[in-house]
Every structure is written in structure tokens, then in C-alpha cells.
Amino acid sequence: MLIHELTDKECFDALARFGFGRLGCARDNQPYVVPIYFTYHEGHLYTFSTAGQKIEWMRTNPRVCVEVDENTSPVQWLSVVVFGHYEELPDTPEYKSERNLAYEMLQQRVTWWEPATYVAFHHHRGADPLTSVFYRIHIDRVSGHHAVPGPVESATLPAPERATKSEGRLLSLLRRARII
């Protein structure tokens, strides 16, 4: 397997393509990692939540990281880590344009609101409606790596492992459907 470091541009392209990752935050020397949907736009990740543990922790300590990855096979994968800081976009006149941008960008992702709605519905039935929190993560720096099969793996792996990404996904779907 050959592992290559990604350029900043390749990392940003991956962030724009993926839209799902894991947010890491910390408080009192305790890390906390949760899945999030996001959208990338001009040096920021925009996302949405309801008030809860991750929002409380990021309000206390705005230093965060986000990890996204794609695992095509054991020898073909991509991973990007974002280091940045949390900024809440409150529903106030001075943040109106930023909230509108966040909402507009998130609308491009079909499921952007689902995790917060699930939490609101299942954990707070009968309580006052939860406050929605739009926020963005200012990207301070990114780091990424991409693995591809090396000469040894290319010569010894079975055909599905050598397949292109789209072929690999198709073969995987066909196997799950028990067509092949």
C-alpha cells in the first residue's frame, strides 16, 4: 500500500464532497466525539444542532477537530482531519447573513436536519421546543492522507480489490443484494 499526503486543496475538495464526519471536542480533559453532517464553504464547515452536550462543550472550549474518511478497501482509503474553532451563529441581526448562508449551504444536503430532529423528538417529548443552533467551524488547518494499492497489492489482491472506486462500490452493492 502506498500512502500519499494530500494537499490543502485536495483536503478541501474532499470536505466539499463528503458532508459527513466526526466532530471532536473536549472539556475538562475529556474528549467527546460525535457524528455530524456539514457543508464546506470557503474555509468553514457549516452545521446545525439542537442545544446539548456538544454545544455546551464547544461553548466552553471552542477548539475542535473534524475527521472525514472514505474507505474503499483495506488498501485504498482517504482521510482528512480539520483543526479549527467553533463559532455559534445566533439568531440576531448581526449574524443574519451568516445564518442565511449556513441555512442555504445546508439545504444542499438532504439529511442535514435529521440528527437534531431525532434528538428533539425522541429525548424531549412534551418539553419546550429545543433551540436550534447553527454554527460554523473556522478551519485553521487541514491534514489528509490517501492510500492506494502498491505494486504488491495490485499483483496479489483479488479482482474486486483492484477495481476502480465506482466498480468497487457496484460490486459491493451486487454482493449485498446477493446478485453475484
Task: Note whether 130 and 55 are within 8 A (CB).
Answer: no
Give the model confidence (pLDDT) of 121-178 as tens digits.
444 444 445 678 999 999 999 999 999 988 877 766 665 544 555 555 555 555 565 5
Taking the C-alpha atoms of residue 66 and residue 68, their distance in angstroms, rounded to an integer, is 7
Q: What is the pTM of this model?
A: 0.74
The candidate with the shortest Cα–Cα distance to 23, out of 105, 137, 123, is: 137
Taking the C-alpha atoms of residue 164 and residue 172, their distance in angstroms, rounded to an integer, is 12
Taking the C-alpha atoms of residue 78 and residue 145, their distance in angstroms, rounded to an integer, is 6
Task: Note whether 80 and 144 are within 8 A (CB).
Answer: yes
Give the model confidence (pLDDT) of 63-73 as tens digits.
999 999 999 88
Residue 129 confidence (pLDDT): 53
Task: Note whether 14 and 146 are within 8 A (CB).
Answer: no
Give the model confidence (pLDDT) of 60-103 as tens digits.
999 999 999 999 888 999 999 999 999 999 989 999 988 888 88
The candidate with the shortest Cα–Cα distance to 76, out of 172, 163, 5, 17, is: 163
Q: Which domains, from first to last, does the chain contain?
A: 2-148 (2.30.110.10), 150-180 (no CATH)
